[in-house]
Amino acid sequence: MITWDVGTIILLIMAGLTRASILFIVAAGLTLVFGVLRVINMAHGSLYMIGAFVAASVIQGVGGAGSFWLALVAAPLAVGLVGAVIEFGVLRRIYQAEHVVQLLATYALILIFDDLVKMIWGAEYKSVSIPAAFAGSLSIGDRPFPIYNLFVIAWALLLAAALWFMIYRTGLGRLIRAAVEDSEMLEALGVNIPRIFSSVFIIGAFLAGLGGVLVAPLGSIGLGMDVTILIEAFVVAVIGGLGSFPGALLGAGIIGMMFSFGITVAPRMAMAFVFLAMVIVLIIRPWGLFGEPER
């Protein structure tokens, strides 16, 4: 029997924020790519999985106190490079194709990456330790809450601020917003649209890899984690509105809380609560909370 005191509620909120932080980082990349490129990247979860495996290799291979920080830089950059190859080798050739062609192409990438991961890292689950700097826990209502989870939440908030600054206060951000509104007009003005598309996709891949690094110390790393995060990230993006950065932030918060409280109230129904939230939003606003109807 759960005792619903203030400490329990705060603990559940913090747990929900931890999950929401990972979901936001991954879903932000997914929704950014769709907003600009109009491509639903089914392989986004694979990039997240690759980030987690690369992080595990760096941490276990280098060892020592600085290995996690090295992985925090190296893994997202490596995944960003993979994203550049995907964009140049596959997506650039199907931007004008129907969505079903894009879906099939990126779904094929899931199968390819699954086999590549199995060839490079094997099928066994891997795990990494929480960095020593964030080991231990804080007491919330006489219950422990991991310090590393607070680091993940803080990192997500910092990243949200950085993404907002990039999108609304930089030259690249202005070009990205203009490309969302009318890429053909932007190209007519002499802007290199393929370069903008490449930059956006690499940023999206970088965010997926970063999510993989941050989640690595929180659980096991293995095949299948790509599909799990992809489903949840899509739910977040759909609730917030595909292509909406503020929507990804709000959608991640909603799903994080629904899962945290749902798994406490009815563990077997936790994911059902998540999809129920999506269904309710789609009934009220089929284009999402912050999305816009397709023109």
Q: What does the alpha-carbon distance between residue 135 and residue 126 come to, in Å, rounded to a whole number?
A: 19
Percentage of the chain with pLDDT > 70? Answer: 98
Residue 259 forms part of a structural domain: no
Number of residues that this document lists for the chain: 295
pLDDT of residue 139: 85
Average pLDDT, the chain: 91
In degrees and rounded to multiples of 5, residue 129 shows phi and psi of: -80, 155
- Lowest-confidence segment of 12-21, 101-110, 161-170, 265-274 by average pLDDT: 265-274
Residue 182 forms part of a structural domain: yes
Q: Which domain holds residue 81?
A: 17-132+141-224
Q: What does the alpha-carbon distance between residue 209 and residue 198 come to, in Å, rounded to a whole number?
A: 16
Q: Where are the alpha helices (DSSP H) in 63-146?
A: 67-89, 99-121
Residue 274 forms part of a structural domain: no
Q: How confident is the model at residue 116 (pLDDT cuts 50, 70, 90)?
A: very high
Residue 211 forms part of a structural domain: yes
Query: How many structural domains does the chain have?
Result: 1
Residue 266 forms part of a structural domain: no
Contact 176, 16 (CB under 8 A): no
Residue 212 forms part of a structural domain: yes
pTM: 0.94
pLDDT tops 90 at residue 4: no
Residue 256 forms part of a structural domain: no
In degrees and rounded to multiples of 5, residue 86 shows phi and psi of: -65, -45
Q: How confident is the model at residue 63 (pLDDT cuts 50, 70, 90)?
A: confident
